[in-house]
Every structure is written in C-alpha cells, then in structure tokens.
Structure 1
Amino acid sequence: MEIFLVATPGLEEPLADEARALGLDAHVQPGGVSFTGGWADVRRANLEIRGATRVLARIGSFRAMHPAQLDKRARRFPWGDWLRADIPVRVEASSRKSRIYHAGAISQRIEAAIRDSLGAPVADDAPVTLKVRIEDDLCTISVDTSGESLHKRGHKQAVGKAPMRETMAAMFLRQCGFDGHEPVLDPMCGSGTFVIEAAEIAAGLHPGRMRGFAFEHLPGFDPEAWADQRKHVATPPAITFHGSDRDAGAIRMSHENAARAGVGGWSDFQNRAIGDLIRPEGPPGLVIVNPPYGARIGNKGPLFGLHAALGAVLRERFGGWRVGLVTSDGQLARATGLPFREPGPYVAHGGLKIRLYRTGPL
C-alpha cells in the first residue's frame, strides 16, 4: 500500500532524505513524502522517523461524483479489512475541485457507512482516525496510523514559551549536516529540544520508543512482532551535548526532559547568559539556536542587540564551529554579523514563516 509521511510545510526534502537513509524508496509529494510498503514499514516509520508529523496508510479510493454515489461506494468498501468493529473511529474529510464539496456531509456519509456495514462506533475522541479526501471527484481514504502527532515523543512534560517542535528540530539538525558524531550547543535552549534530539540521534535512540500509536488498534496487529521491532539498545556517545539559557527555569525543564528521555548522562545544561558562553572542550561542532524573533513572543526592537551580542560571542570564541539559526526575520539574522549562506526554504511554524540560516565553519 502507499504510505504517506506528513511533513511540516517546507521540510519535505529533508524528510525524504531521512526516509531514504532508512532504505525507503521515498518521493516528495505536496504535503509530505510517499513510499510503498506494508505494515512492518508503517510500524518502522512511526518508531524511527524523526521528521514526520504523522504516518498515513492509504487504504483505498473510488470515484464519487454525487452524494448518492459516495453513499453506495462507501457501503461497499471493505472496512473490516482495515478497521475493528470494537474500536471507535473518527472521520476527517476535505474536498477540493470536486462536485461533492461539503466536508461535513462527506464525513457523515462515511461514518454512516462504517456504522452500518461494520458496526464500529463513531466518536470524537476515537483512537483511530480516517482521513477522507475528495479531489477531482476521486475519494481517497487513509487511516492515520500514528494517533497523536509524532512530535510528541513521550518525554517532554515541561515546555517554555514558543517551543520548537521535535520533528522540526530534527529536520533543522539534518539540514545543518548533523549526523550524531559532533558536539552540539544551543545557547538559548529553552526546554532542551535541540540538545535532546541531537543526543538521541547520537545514541541511536528511536524517537517513538516511549509512546503508543494508533496502529496498535487496527486488525491484525501483532503485539509480539511489535515488541520485537521495538527492541533496541542505545549506544552512549563519547561526546556531550550542551544547552544553556539565562532562565533558570528553562534549565530545570531541560534537565527534567533530558532525564525522562534517557539522555541525561550525555547532555549538559547550564544557566548562562549569552555573554557568559563558554566553548566546550573537545572538537568543534554545531551551534544551533532558535532565538526570540519578536512576532513570536513580543516586541523585536531590543532583539537586534541580543542577536549582535550572540554573533560577536560566536565569532570570538567558536572558531571552527558551524552555526544554524532559526528565525522569521532576516534582519535579525543579519544583525549577528555571521557569514550565513543563502537561507533555507520557508517553514510553517505557529502561524509564522521561519527559515534556517547556516554558516560554514567560523
């Protein structure tokens, strides 16, 4: 079947690169990445892929040019092959360039077909969600095999203002060339997302190891095969991953989140202002930072001085290190005085459009 990895808009290419690195024949499509596979690949994608928001299994399609046709063909669909009669289901519908254009009516008809032909209950808080899309009169049905968004790794209970999602952080690390073999420092670490993701990558820890998934509620799910697939031993890295922040509460959150993630032994968090940054001992690596950018948490006027100070400290103390900076404001990036290359594509983040700015070794 076709398996679709939903991407954060703007991060489709690094997600495809990640999927290909795992041996999947992945192709970029609008909104994400697709490949062909079976249930073992669905499980593996949910467990191992860091950049996907969710994993959809496309289970069927048919033409529907008017509501009566949708009713008829939905009732003929083999729901029992894909859903369990004892597990509630929820339907989310959308329509584009089609004669059936009302999403609510589409959902109601699909829900009625499932209730009448399979007997499965329909509920807003169901553990299984069907995604029904009608485009150019072609109705495509997918089952969301993930459940909660995959950025919810299961270890972050404490977050600060405007947090970076784990899925985005992983893709920005990939775009910076990080592969787990160099130190990483985030000088404005917040709740520790970049540092924890980097430490997990270095240790070979699967991002989905601490959470459950919707596919566990589907027919034919094999708990023993899944338990075997989840077996994995981490390899503690020989390097340390560093975070600092001027907010003592952020450092406390970072310590707690890293401990829950199981990477506390090779991550270090310090309560420091930008002016007190210290270059870690050992080889050069990557500084990656998601500083405040005005529209996100308030007035950006004073932020030019902050960015200038950050750039000065990095140029003075971090020779040989690369820098990745995430911002919605190119002027703030330029205020650092750092030799950034052409920025990456725009990425959707909380109603803003952000970009990754990267340097070579300073």
Structure 2
Amino acid sequence: MEPGLIAKTKEGLTVHVETTPSSDGPDWRDEEAFRSHYRAHGYAVARGLLPPELTDEIVAFFRAEVKPYRGPILRQLSVRMEENKFSPEGFMTNTILSVQDLTAEELKNFRRSSLEALTHERVQRVLKSLIGEPARCVESMYFESNSRGTITHPDHHFMDASIPGEMVAAWYALEDIHPGAGRFYIMPDSHLLGTDAPRFAHLKRFYEEYEALSLKTTGKFQDNASEINAALRVEHSRMLGRGLAELSFYAPLMRKGDVVFWGSRVLHGSLKPDDPSRTRNSLTAHYIGCSQGYVQYGAPAELYLQDVNGMPVHHLRPARSQREG
C-alpha cells in the first residue's frame, strides 16, 4: 500500500487511509464537544493525549525488557502462555495480552510504564467524560508488529459492559504509525447499524443476521476447537464482505501520543502490514464504568481489581499481593 489513499480489509472492504492530519473531531480538552463527537459517530481521536516522554519510555522498556525475555507471556490470539515469536525483521508478532499481569521481575519497568499510560490522569479524565462516571480497566494488550492484520469486528461480540454498548476501547499510538505498518481502522457511525438511522436502515435485516451468527459463535467460542472458530471467522468475513460492500472504513493518521476511543458496537480492525520493516508499537485497553459489571462471551465475568494510579484495574486472577510496581 502506498502512503495515502485506499487499502482493503481482510474482508475486501475499502479503507480510506489518512496520511496528512485532518480535523476529524474536537480537541479532547473540550470535554463537551469531544463527548458529543464520540456519541454521534461512535469514536473520537484524542490528539497528543499521552506525553511523548511516557510513550518513549514504554517503547524503550519493551525493547530492553520484553524482547530479550525468554519466559512465557500470555498472548492475545491464542490466550495461552507462549514465548516471544519474531518476524524475520526481528519484531514481536504474538501480541501480549494483559500487561497488568506481567509479574516477572525482569518486566517490571515495562509493566509499570504501560500501566501509567493506561491509567494516566488525562485518560481518566476523557473516560469519565465519555462514560459519565469514573472508569475501570478490564483488559489490555501490547503490539509491536501485526503480521496478519485483524478481522473487522465490534467488541461487544466478545466483551462489553453490563449495560450493552457502554464499554469504551482505546488504542494508544506509542510512535508515529506508518501507513504500511498495519493501521488501525474504524467505520464511523457503525454503532448505528441495526437501527433505523437513515444511512443504515436498508441494512437492518443483514445486520440482524450478522448479529445472530455472532451470538451463535461467541456463545460457544471458548468451548470450540480452534478449527471450528477459524471456520466461523471465515463465515463472518464473507458475510461482512457481502453485506457492507457499499460502505467504507477510515484509518486515522496516528502519531505518537494520539489515542483513539471507540464504543463496543463500532466496527473496527487493523490492516495487514505491507511494509515489514515498520513497527506499530501500541497499547490497547478496554474500560467500563465503575458502577457497571463486565461481560465476556455473553456472560457476567468476575473482576479481580487492584488500584493503579487511582483507577481499578482488572487482573486475570486474584492478586497474591496488593503491591503495584
């Protein structure tokens, strides 16, 4: 993909790739305008939300601590403990799941700095405005490289707040993300799919069928063999490719410190990289309001919370200690 214009999702759908800054929404400091944009379009981009010295610190500790580490780490795709896997160019390809659960002493600075970003005062301020109350973090991931791209999906098929659609996700650019590195993309307004909104009303029946397939899939996702889930993902892909062929996605230009927030019903994914020499160092996290429960695969999930910088953060197992570091 040449920098600039058009790319395709894994489903063959069109993505408009931004290569120069645009006015894609209000400044995050204008809380009312930022919240209004988020609620109207399902997403909002907070330019320069994280301090550059913090993003640089996270990437430096990732390179110094995580990449040389030889122990197993929980991974996003397999949801299993695995050692690092690298591309021929030397970039980690198996995304870390749950940075808050990296308890190895060798990884403590990477964990600490990552959590500082995910619970940063500015992040908490934006989330409180979007959700309407203080937030808690229920999941996180770290990417250096994305060798295959990510299928188009809404998060609520897999996780959500107990009030459907109220979970907020965030993607943190820890460096300037090159167009060939596998950009994050989103479909503005797609939280309105399945409704009578004028832009999507004619797709209402299609989206009902898509949601039905998704509920069938996620209800048994944890019990299915990986081959069955892979086949279901292909079925999802083909259905989306047919049903949304007339629509397009948007890959915002993401520079170091930028954060894009989106709702759990918004369609999004990431492009397959076409320049293997480029990294996409980034964090992702999912948040719910402190008064809300957490739902995974359609069922309530227990939360194991520890306080980090004044924000409750869910760990995948009960902590043996309340010490954070």
TM-score normalized with structure 2 length? 0.27
Q: Higher relative CO (CA 8 A, sep ≥ 6), structure 1 or 2?
A: 2
Look at both structures and tell me which one has the larger radius of gyration over its CA atoms: 1
TM-score normalized with structure 1 length? 0.25
